Amino acid sequence: MDTQQTNDRTADAGSTASASDTSTVNISANGRNVGSYTSVTDYNSSSGSVPAANTAVAAGSMPEGGEQTGEVDANGTEGQTEGQVEELYPIALLMDELRHDDVAARVQAMKRLDTIAIALGPERTRKELIPFLEDVIPEDEDEVIAIAAEELGKFVSLVGGPEYAPQLVPVLEKISACEEPIVREKAVASLNLISKSLSDEQIQQTFLPLIQRLAKERWFSLHIAAAGLFESVLIRVPSDIRTELLKLYFDLIQDDSPMVRKASATELPKLIDLLAANFHTPDTVNEFHWDIITSMYENIVNDNQDSVKFLAVDVLISILSFLQLLGDRTHHPELFDSLLALINDPSWRVRYMVADRFDKLAENFDDDSYTLKLVPNLLSLMKDNEAELVNKADRSIMIDDIVPVISQLSMDEAESKSQDWLPIFGKDATIKYLLPIFVDMLKDEFSEVRLNIISKLQVVNDVIGIQLLSESLLPAITSLSNDKLWRVRLAIIQQIPLLAEQLGVAFFNEALGQLCMDWLWDPVYSIREAAIMNLQKLTKFFGEDWCKKELIKRILEKKQSKDFDNFICRITCLLALDKLIPVLSPKVISEDIYPFIDELKSDQVPNIRFNVAKSLASIAETLYPEYKTIVTDKIVPTLEAFENDDDVDVRFYTKQSIEKVNKHLQDTKQ
């Protein structure tokens, strides 16, 4: 599509556009002039946005101070109709915006491609928009091209459906030649998306030639693009063509460019998985093309670039997965040898990938003899000098070999490893080998080490049982209850419900009861809040009688201490009792909780008064109708008095509480 633009700065006596640009665009398609478009655009040079006048044009209206004229050649005659001119606006507007100096404006134009296509209709989209894009897109900025590539993948319905989908291929083929990876990936993704709508005949007529062209061109970027397209066609073509495709892919695996080899090695597991899913039965197994696949794998394993070689690990996993589907272990020896070579590779990237995928490798070998042979190699990975690699090699298989390594790692701040081995070690081995390490790590000078161990107490308990946990680790845990780092204290508090449920009431009262009360008065709010939350959980475990004796009694006694003069002490008592309301009987609430809270209604601090208002609503919902008199004669009048409080927050929460109480009273009467 050819465009020609001329700008005239003119001032018409009857026009208000004297400070505007008048643009005329002559439009032609396939060598034939189809019209012209004239707009008056009032630019704001500092806005960086598409001119407002253009928006008016797109809507088919006349911008102030401007005019549009059109000349359309139809059946060899020249004429001008309003409808024909308006049909030109969308494409003309897009052309105008795509020439905008601001990249952001051009990006926004590309994001509206679907809107333009809808306005044009399928036929004009095919005949005008797509050729125009094919001409202008490759010359634009990468950011604009990437958006266009992504949008074109959604264009199948906009060009008229699958029948016309192949017309989208040429423009995306041009984009796929881009050296910028993001742009190329967008184009390949759109091509793969479009391929799903193509018939098998269209695949052979359009997509196969596309792949062959890209794979045989000189430029490495085209080879990379080709590698990403095989997944769309590999299982949709006849057997003989599939063989040729795999041979072509083998050429990419052996390409001179390391970037092409890396791209093709990256995509190979997808192809293997596709073949495995479709050809894993005895009568179809030949279609897997074992010889070609394993030759590709061997080339990757022996590649001289570690950025390519480390991808062999994922390829090996896919091959092993296929063999597992077949129940075939005859190839395990040579595959195992290749894995050993990767484990001992000089490149840390290759060793890292083995460590990262070690569990999948062991799972897919599915053979204890091979798994056991891997143990010494796993140990070598755990002792590796590369820190990132060590963090990945954190599974255990053999206790006698691995525990000494764990002991060494525990001295090197590697606390995250040993916990993951507990379920594998089992009870006896954990007690013998790991507990001493855990105790030492609970005393570690680094807080993150202590936190990590504390957070895994559930795992420890599941393996060794609560008795040994309490005997071995509880002393160290309680010593951390006053740790100077509040996050350590918080981690301990969060484990209290677990310990309480397992220890039983007597042991808990002796070992942890006082700690739970002490945390209520911690200077850090998050600690106090977590401690309050625990009170409700503990009451559920140990019952109401325990709560009255061990919790409520101690909280009420605070009222007689000097600490009660402190706002934090009063609000903590109030919030703690409020949290207990849902798990206590109306009798305990009416006798112990309500009187204490009611006495705080005249507190000088607004925060306490509005929390009293909130608590009274909860109390009323629990007591009514069994203790109707308390609700109607005491709680309701108190809330009504709060409605006139000087503080706006008190009045706000009081209003909410009154609404809750009234609703509860009405629902109960019904």
Which ranges of 203-284 does DSSP label H, i.e. alpha helix? 208-216, 220-227, 239-253, 258-278
Amino acid sitting at position 414: A
The pLDDT confidence band at residue 440, using thresholds 50, 70 and 90, is: confident
What pLDDT is attached to residue 436? 75
What confidence tens digit (pLDDT) does each residue in 208-233 have?
A: 999 999 999 888 999 999 999 999 99
Q: Which of 152, 164, 163 lies closest to 188, judged by CA?
A: 152
Which of 37-41, 363-367, 444-448, 449-453 has the highest average model confidence (pLDDT)?
363-367
Are 187 and 175 in contact by the 8 Å Cβ rule? The answer is yes
What pLDDT is attached to residue 80? 40
Q: Which residue has the higher pLDDT, 79 or 174?
A: 174
Q: Which of 38-47, 469-478, 653-662 has the lowest mean pLDDT?
A: 38-47
Give the list of residues 6+ apart from residue 331 with CB closer than 8 angstroms, or none: 294, 323
Are 527 and 521 in contact by the 8 Å Cβ rule? The answer is no
**Measured distance CA(563)–CA(201) in Å, rounded:** 85
User: Strand 77-79 relative to strand 2-8: parallel, antiparallel, unpaired?
Assistant: unpaired
**Measured distance CA(125)–CA(132) in Å, rounded:** 10
In words, the CATH class of domain 585-670 is: mainly alpha
What pLDDT is attached to residue 488? 82
Q: Look at the block and give the residue holding tokens 């990237």.
A: 349
Tokens of 478: 């309680």
The pLDDT confidence band at residue 398, using thresholds 50, 70 and 90, is: very low
Q: Which of 511, 557, 519, 558 lies closest to 535, judged by CA?
A: 519
What pLDDT is attached to residue 461? 63
The pLDDT confidence band at residue 29, using thresholds 50, 70 and 90, is: very low
Indicate the SS3 state at residue 80: coil
Q: How many Cα atoms occupy the beta-carbon half-sphere of 432 within 13 Å?
A: 9
The pLDDT confidence band at residue 122, using thresholds 50, 70 and 90, is: very high
Q: What is the mean pLDDT of the chain?
A: 78
The pLDDT confidence band at residue 448, using thresholds 50, 70 and 90, is: low
Tokens of 81: 């109709």
What pLDDT is attached to residue 49? 34
* Domain layout of the chain by residue ranges: 1-101, 585-670
Q: What percent of the chain stands above pLDDT 90?
A: 46
Q: Which of 416, 405, 406 lies closest to 449, judged by CA?
A: 416
The side-by-side arrangement of strands in the sheet containing 32-41 is: 2-8, 21-29, 32-41
The pLDDT confidence band at residue 463, using thresholds 50, 70 and 90, is: low
Q: Which residue has the higher pLDDT, 100 or 641?
A: 641
What confidence tens digit (pLDDT) does each residue in 64-98 have?
A: 333 333 333 333 334 444 444 455 555 676 667 77
| H or E, element range at 33 | strand 32-41
The pLDDT confidence band at residue 622, using thresholds 50, 70 and 90, is: very high
Give the list of residues 6+ apart from residue 456 with CB closer than 8 angstroms, or none: 419, 422
Please say if the pLDDT value at position 455 is more than 80: no
Please report the DSSP string for 514-569 in residue order: HHHHHGGG-SSHHHHHHHHHHHHHHHHHH-HHHIIIIIIHHHHHGGGSGGGGSHHH
Please report the DSSP string for 414-443 in residue order: -HHHHHHTHHHH-HHHIIIIIHHHHHHHHT
- pTM for this entry: 0.51
Q: How many Cα atoms occupy the beta-carbon half-sphere of 82 within 13 Å?
A: 4
Q: Which of 84, 52, 80 lies closest to 65, judged by CA?
A: 52
What pLDDT is attached to residue 282? 76
Please say if the pLDDT value at position 412 is more than 70: no
The pLDDT confidence band at residue 433, using thresholds 50, 70 and 90, is: low
Are 185 and 228 in contact by the 8 Å Cβ rule? The answer is yes
| H or E, element range at 317 | helix 312-326
